[in-house]
Chains A and B, each alone.
Chain A
Amino acid sequence: MKGTIKLALAGSPNVGKSTIFNALTGGRAWVGNWPGVTVEKKVGVMKLNGYKVEVVDLPGIYSLTAYSIDELIARNFIIEERPDVVVVIVSAINLERSLYLAVSLLELGVNLIVALNMVDLAEREGYVVDVKKLEALLRVPVVPTIAIKGIGIDKLKNIIIQSISNPRRNPAIVDYGDPIEKAISRLCSFMKTHTPEVVHTYHPRWLAIKLLENDRDVVEKVKLLPKGDLLINMANEMRKELESVVGDLEVYMVNQRYAKILEIVDKVVRRVRVKGISVSELLDTVLLDKFLGLPITITSIYLMLYFAYNVSLPLVDLVDALFSSLADYTRLILQDKAPLLASLLADGIITGVGTVLVFTPMIAIFYILVAILEDVGYMARVVFVLDKVLHRFMLPGKAIVPLILGFACNVPAVLSARTIEDENDRKTVIMICPLSTCSARLPVYLIIASAIFGTYAALAITSMYVLSIIFALVIGFLFKSFIFKGPSIGFIMELPPYLMPQSRTVLIKTWERTKRFLTKAGTVILAAAILVWLLSITGPKGLIGPEALEDPALLKASWVGAIGRALQPIFTPMGWDWGATIALFFGFMAKEVVVSTMAMVYGAEETSLGRAILAHFSPLSAYAYMIFVLLYVPCVATMAVIRSEIGLKYAVLTIMYQMVLAYLASLAVMFIGMILGLG
């Protein structure tokens, strides 16, 4: 072993960064968070010629400014952790823009390798990139790759080995012109003589440029260093002088960088034939059509949900059967020897964990579909088509993915909000995610609606979905208007060319996401299941025993019963009895548990539950109950992920606003119904 090498992988979205990451590391990655923030950090390991290379996947970024959290993370990682090699992925079909990131990295003074990806697509578009010339102009190695076919990866690995012993840097890639270059070198020599500590941390030229640009993060950090304020004052004065010559310095610097890039692109791109119309353009004329665009988008979302629900149904039943037979078996062997333990395992842990795990097949299938749509490039189009609706409610376009996912399960929905850049937007979206009516709520609607509304059942259920969307949007709007104000970040998104989905990328993505669902949901569920079980078999008068879970009269005497009876008066206006109230309490675990609890409390089998419901609810109180189930509290697993994503404070806030909202909404249903004489 020759030692450990730290390699950072940088690139904009849609350049094939994750494909290259998987190709280098074999797809196995340790996934965690960057310190202090919930931006995902992926680290993989690659064995190379006796070196152990630690590959760190930087967030997908376009630039290295201090304006976005992702860019700051990438930048600070490079400054603080000093990776031995940085590989930047540059897209051959998007050369100008992706070279901007490469140039920014060069200025940072890193040992850089350029992976020029998607060279095949460039040829399809009718041009070739002269790699040798590009290498000569950038003065760092350039490796052409077609990552999805694995082409160029071995060459890239070779170049990585070479660059370990022979680092190549080119921080002065851009010449900013006479007055600015003079200012930069004056600042650099000042640093060397007066503030050597600064030079220790930062590359002097880069720091001089950032100080002239008045980069807020750099200014703040330099201020804390000895004599840092001297340096800042000097830069500020220079900026004033320079701006009287060239105008806004930040704009000028960006212009100079792009001018340099254009000069490079001009020299290295050779058009081999006239550009024809591409498949992507052709597809977009249909998929984004003025009239067809919206129906196509809504149909595809609907099909995705339909497919995920139906294809997973047998698998969901299978997992369900697996858990109930496991519970039965546990009871069978332990019942006589240790009845309490048998009940804890069977009724508490196995049943409780099972109620959540039954959703795994559906979530996995949903994830596969989402990953395919992302890989193909259609997800960006869905955002493009529906953005206006979300924008009207002050929400980011990217909120669409979490809200759609929420229809399957709120846990992955909350987790998928990570792609939203702005912190305020992300908090808002996470907090409205539980309003997406997840698949666990469907059985509750089904059993109540079919028992009470007869032929109008389908209408009642559909109305839940419509209300779910309306509530999510309106509440989101209220959050953005009153709580998470702050500036909204510019919504500029690339519409990448359509590509064939890669089974490897899709499966890796699906596996990572499903695994996250299982670990996040699984851990809390266990504790919650035990707690609910304990509250059911004990009461104010002490131990009741596992029989309480089968006998409604005994359950009434348990803590759960006590809570139900204590809370029941609150629900008197809605006309719900203590049984209906208790069912809601158990619904904390997972909403579909409401059904089985009602069956138990009303002493009915799941098949005869309809008649029991008819006896305990009026049509109005039943509809109010459905609305309450739609809106009240996220399930335990969702609460846990909200907490781990944005903190306890917001998790509590979510629970509280949902309780209030659910109560008011169901009360409103009763009130309006009474006025209309439906009571």
Chain B
Amino acid sequence: MTDPIKLSEAEVGKAYEVIKVEGPALIRRRIMDMGIIPGAKIKVLRLAPLLDPIEILVRGVPLSIRRAEAQYIIVRETS
């Protein structure tokens, strides 16, 4: 079992599972409504050319999320 990390620190190409969503109510709810809830699988697809935002795959849908918001998503690497 790997240690939980923030999604903003996740590596490109790796797969993760969401453990917890933190942050202010407004941002947290927005994140969760996009299907990013505990148990959801996330794959980091790529970084934008300027390294922020990051593109992730959630529930088969590619999403762009800023690191500032990604830091509220706590994930664990899955193999």
**Chain A interfacial positions (CB closer than 8 Å to B):** 62-63, 65, 67-68, 93-97, 100, 250-251, 254-255, 258, 284, 288-291, 293-294, 380, 383-389, 391, 397, 487, 489-495
Contact (Cβ within 8 A) B63 A494: yes
Shortest distance in angstroms between A248's beta carbon and chain B's nearest beta carbon? 9
Q: A93-B60, A495-B63, A495-B64 are in contact. Are A387 and B53 (CB under 8 A)?
A: yes
How many interface contacts (CB-CB < 8 Å) are there between A and B? 120
Contact (Cβ within 8 A) A294 B63: no
Contact (Cβ within 8 A) B53 A97: no
A179–B53 CA distance with the chains assembled, in angstroms: 40
Q: Which residues of B contact A68 (CB under 8 A)?
A: 30
Shortest distance in angstroms between A81's beta carbon and chain B's nearest beta carbon? 23
Q: A97-B34, A100-B35 are in contact. Are A487 and B26 (CB under 8 A)?
A: yes
Q: Which residues of B contact A291 (CB under 8 A)?
A: 49
Contact (Cβ within 8 A) B33 A63: yes
A468–B24 CA distance with the chains assembled, in angstroms: 35
Q: A67-B26, A251-B21, A384-B64 are in contact. Are A492 and B34 (CB under 8 A)?
A: yes
Contact (Cβ within 8 A) B29 A67: yes
B65 part of interface (Cβ distance < 8 Å): yes
Interface centre among A290, A383, A388, A490 (most CB of B within 10 A): A490
Of A63, A380, A487, which is within 8 A of B24 by CB? A487
**Chain B interfacial positions (CB closer than 8 Å to A):** 21, 24-35, 37-40, 46-53, 55, 59-66, 68-69
> Chain A: which residue is nearest B24 at the CB level?
A487
Q: A293-B48, A491-B69, A493-B63 are in contact. Are A251 and B30 (CB under 8 A)?
A: no
Q: A254-B37, A491-B66 are in contact. Are A97 and B30 (CB under 8 A)?
A: no
Of B29, B39, B59, B68, which is within 8 A of A97 by CB? B59
Shortest distance in angstroms between A280's beta carbon and chain B's nearest beta carbon? 8
Of A63, A67, A290, A384, which is within 8 A of B53 by CB? A384
A340–B47 CA distance with the chains assembled, in angstroms: 65
Q: A293-B48, A490-B26 are in contact. Are A255 and B53 (CB under 8 A)?
A: no
Q: A94-B60, A494-B61 are in contact. Are A391 and B48 (CB under 8 A)?
A: no
Contact (Cβ within 8 A) A254 B30: no
A489–B69 CA distance with the chains assembled, in angstroms: 9
Of B27, B35, B37, B48, which is within 8 A of A384 by CB? B48
Known: A288-B49, A384-B48, A397-B53. 15 other contacts (CB 8 A): A65-B33, A67-B29, A94-B60, A97-B59, A251-B21, A254-B37, A288-B46, A385-B50, A388-B50, A490-B27, A490-B69, A491-B65, A491-B66, A494-B64, A495-B64
> Chain A: which residue is nearest B34 at the CB level?
A492
Q: Which residues of B contact A490 (CB under 8 A)?
A: 26-27, 30-31, 65-66, 69
